[in-house]
Structure 1
Amino acid sequence: MNPVLLAYAMLALAIALEVTGSTFLVKSESFTKLWPSVAVVVLFSMAFYLLSQVIKVIPLGIAYAIWAGVGIVLTALIGFFVFRQSLDVAAMVGIGLIVSGVVVINLFSNATGH
């Protein structure tokens, strides 16, 4: 398999694990509930391990920008749909700008490794 494609697949999995870990962070109730707290530690550990593998192929700044941008958007959407947390216009505009930034990096940057 193409190493760059594999790195992006690992990055996607790392993001999914981080977002899931963030969801369990809410469920842990400030680390007062054992199993959700364990899930947070395990999921974040797995996510950071995968990120450490990704940066062997994709430059750190690019990988982290994608990780953070996509993670913020997905976490905000989970907060909205699962936890019924509100998003005002400023939050939605900000999320749109984050998505735009990730798209620009992936489509136009020569530093992404593709």
Structure 2
Amino acid sequence: MIPYILIGVAVIVEVFGDSMMKLSNGFQRKLPLVGTVIGYGIAFYLISLVLEELPLGPVYAAWTGLGIALTAVVGTVFWKESFNWKKGLGLAAIIGGVVMLKLGV
């Protein structure tokens, strides 16, 4: 159960890092840049712990797929980016792919 919780936390801190990257204005603003490095650093560390117990393929698929989905939600909610049926379909395909990989293990 712990590895799955760690994947969830890794996704959240990665999305935090993504958001800080957007705030950094092309790495011109230093404080958000520090947030980017911290977010990605923690995410990679947590995924390294998960990989001690779970196989690489499904872990990486879950981490990146859920990260993409949550980043799209954050972009829509906080950055007022557009969201349409094509983006929704793409996210559904990503999540479906992650589920299929998990079922194959």
TM-score bin (small chain) = over 0.9
Aligned partner of 1:15 in structure 2 is 11
Aligned partner of 2:83 in structure 1 is 87
- Which structure 1 residue ranges, 5 or more long, are not aligned? none
Match status 1:25 vs 2:13:
no
Cα deviation digits, residues 61-114 of structure 1 (max 9, x gap): 1100000110000000000111001123222111111122223333x22x2xxx
Residues 76 and 82 in structure 2, CA contact (< 8 A), matched pair in contact too: yes
Query: How much identity, in percent, do the aligned residues show?
Result: 33
Identify which of 12, 22, 31 aligns with 1:35: 31
Instruction: Give the count of matched residue pairs.
Output: 105
- Which structure 2 residue ranges, 5 or more long, are not aligned? none
CA distance in structure 2 between the partners assigned to 1:39 and 1:102 by the alignment? 28
Q: TM-score, normalised by structure 1?
A: 0.86
CA distance in structure 2 between the partners assigned to 1:59 and 1:85 by the alignment? 34
Q: Extract structure 1 runs of 4+ deviating beyond 2 A.
A: 102-106
Identify which of 82, 96, 100 aligns with 2:96: 100
Match status 1:55 vs 2:28:
no
Cα deviation digits, residues 3-44 of structure 1 (max 9, x gap): xx1111111111111011101111111111111100100110
Question: Aligned letter for 1:89?
Answer: W
